[in-house]
Amino acid sequence: MTEAPAARPPRGITRLGLYAYALAAAVLVIDQLSKLWVLNVLDLPSKGQIPVLSFFRLTMVMNQGVSFGLLRADGPVGRWLLVGAALAVVVALIIWVRKADRRLFATALGLIIGGALGNNLIDRARIGEVVDFLDFSGLYFPWVFNIADSAISIGVVLLLIDSFAPQGPSADTPDRDN
């Protein structure tokens, strides 16, 4: 009896690319569920702020900017320009991650894709602004943010670390041990 061949990823996508897509989906789901909880279960908009720890509170902020309130998009034209820009970035990252060959690189892009989809596409397209609620001002961090912002920030840091990490020899580099 012969074994069935192992399932292969779609043509042109590495296993790490699939991992990045799965990570992006997980970030997106966690981000959107946390925002639904804050808005509809906790009803943070009516409470404004809820102290949790001495340095952390849940604070309702509707953000018209990109990340941490930067690049505000006042009005519908700015809103849809940011949606379009985010879509272009996400498409580029989705194409880039298809050839991922390092776990750190795939992790970084997966986090960035999931965060960009959650914040700058879904929130902005659905409600015109981004739901922010994580407030660490007790640690002198001045911005209120969300899960997607965190994923994007961590992903960018990991991408920088990956870019400076030594890479293995490429296929066209001669082996120096011979």
Q: Give the angle subtended at the CA of 121 by the CAs of 31 and 18, to the nearest 5°.
A: 65
In a 3-state reduction of DSSP, which class is residue 4?
coil
Residue identified by tokens 């320009």 is: 81
What Rg value do the Cα atoms of the chain yield, rounded? 20
What does residue 68 show for φ and ψ, rounded to 5 degrees?
55, 35
Catalytic position from the list 31, 123, 135, 149: 149
Catalytic position from the list 101, 132, 172, 177: 132
CA distance 114 to 151: 7
CB 56 within 8 A of CB 138: yes
Is position 149 annotated as part of the catalytic site?
yes
| CB atoms closer than 10 angstroms to residue 117 | 24
Is position 74 annotated as part of the catalytic site?
no
Catalytic annotation, residues = 132, 149
